[in-house]
Amino acid sequence: MKILRCILGDQLNEKHPWFNSVDPNVHYVFMEIKPESEYATHHIQKIVGIFAAMRAFGKRLENQGHTIYYYAINDAANQHSFEANISQLVQIYDFDSFEYMEPDEYRLDALFLDMQDRLHVPVKMVSSAHFMTSRTDVAQQFEGKKRFLMESFYRKMRKKYTILMDGDQPVSGKWNYDHENRKKIPVKHNVTPPKLFSNDLHDVFEDIKDAGLNYIGDVDASHFLWPITREQALELFQYFLDHLLPYFGMYQDAMHQFEWSLYHSRISFALNIKLVDPEEVIRRAEAHWLSNQETISLAQVEGFIRQILGWREYMRGIYWAHMPEYADLNYFEHARALPDYFWTGETKMNCISQCVKQSLRYGYAHHIQRLMVTGNFCLLAGIDPNEVDAWYLGIYVDAFEWVEITNTRGMSQFADGGIVGTKPYVSSAGYIHKMGNYCTHCNYDRKVKVGEHACPFNSLYWHFLFRNQDKLARNPRMSMMYRVWDKFSTDDQTAILEQAEQYLTQLEDL
């Protein structure tokens, strides 16, 4: 039987059972197609990185003896449609069946299901052999319950995979060290520099420009910094273990104007295109900690493992439990347009400016920059979650809908009304100052709520609480802040709300 198998750009998993042996009757197809590159306006480093990784992976399989068909972005035979290209190959080479790995995104899952009857050959979907859970595990665990709780899921996963466990109890008797993961970078602390690659991807970049693809952001295509092979991904991760993990947990929530990478592994891009898999990353991290306990505390490694074993798998489960309806949720009915400075960084709010410019330069910002700076501002300002989703999905190299939308529309914007988080993640300038040094270099005064140089985060925070009190006042995690608001004098409340209204009116000029 002659079989055609499709490999998507985020399915570059060398450890997949498909590749355990070479069969001359099994052929593989890769496709760089315009709809996948333009369904959102992606960062140029994301497009370059995925194309380069696909080409490298295709060449690797070819060198191993597998038969490969590769549709590059500018190939004359490329019809820029999964179905059209697959149908063409099935007809030309007389394939008896077609197989594909389960897509991670709902739209692609629907697309491949829809095309099956028109291919006129048997079609089979197989597991991507990457995740530590199935699509339905989270939904099944919380079936019949009003709320999904990540901590419950995380503990179940720790037990299932025997990660950081002592029998049926967590090592040290404590499940979670989140309260120890919230320290600011000390003034005189010298941050360890990040591991960067220098891949020459000039040819890939030229192909993208010749194809006329739309994109945002910047790239040094002659010194591309992200890993594009499994070897590079493992090298990046080993650097994290050797040099960054000792400080990761402690400073994972910290922000710094002059340090873009800090102690983060930045392994998410390689993970999300499957150059490496989550279990091997977690096992390596645990083993490294066990061998280096004199220099790496449990809090450092637990914080890292929780992000992958807990949060990443959990968010995927939420995605498959609630799509496609999830993509339309808008709990607060927010409708304002995303300000233009989210595409340029040209704003007097230094925290927004620095986070946006960093994102445009590197295609990267860590989770607190995404959640408590850009995401926090969008929520306070009432930005349409559709526009927020599109921005996050496009600007970050590691953003794929299955993990982006639950973090953005759910955790960041609370547009799901509490499916992901138990409360909105909002704050005034105080939190941003607590975790970083952006406020030190800002045009606005973090200490002031009203006036010419009052930080917009301050009045917008209270305005957000005021306008949404019917939805939030009874939330146990928000009630204390409403009690604080009630203690303000009527004059102070009026002044704060008027300041916020002024800022919302002139949102593009902040």
| Res 60: pLDDT | 97
Q: What per-residue string of b and e applies to 194-228 under the rule 16 or more CB within 10 Å gives b?
A: bbeeebebeebbebbeebebebbbebebeebbbbb
β-strand pairing of 97-101 with 123-126: parallel
Could you please report the per-residue DSSP string of 172-222? Answer: GG-S--GGGS-PPPPTT--PPPPP---B--HHHHHHHHHHT---BS---TT
Angle between helices 106-115 and 82-93 (to 10 degrees): 40
**In whole angstroms, what is the distance from residue 446 CA to residue 433 CA?**
8
DSSP E strand boundaries for 327-425: none
**In whole angstroms, what is the distance from residue 336 CA to residue 378 CA?**
9
Task: Please give the single-letter amino acid code of residue 345.
Answer: G
The 3-state DSSP class for residue 487 equals: helix
What are the pLDDT digits (tens) for 288-335? Answer: 999 999 999 999 999 999 999 999 999 999 999 999 999 999 999 999
Q: Which domains are seen in the chain, by residue range?
A: 3-126 (3.40.50.620), 138-200+228-322 (1.25.40.80), 340-509 (1.10.579.10)
**Backbone Cα Rg of the chain:** 24
**In whole angstroms, what is the distance from residue 116 CA to residue 341 CA?**
43
The sign of the torsion formed by the CA atoms of 346, 351, 357, 360 equals negative
Model-wide pTM > 0.75: yes
The residues facing 70 across adjacent strands are 30
Regions of the chain with pLDDT less than 50 = none
Whole-angstrom distance between the N-terminal and C-terminal Cα of the chain? 64
| Res 249: pLDDT | 87
**In whole angstroms, what is the distance from residue 34 CA to residue 215 CA?**
12
| Res 144: pLDDT | 79
Contacts of 494 (CB under 8 A, 6+ apart): none
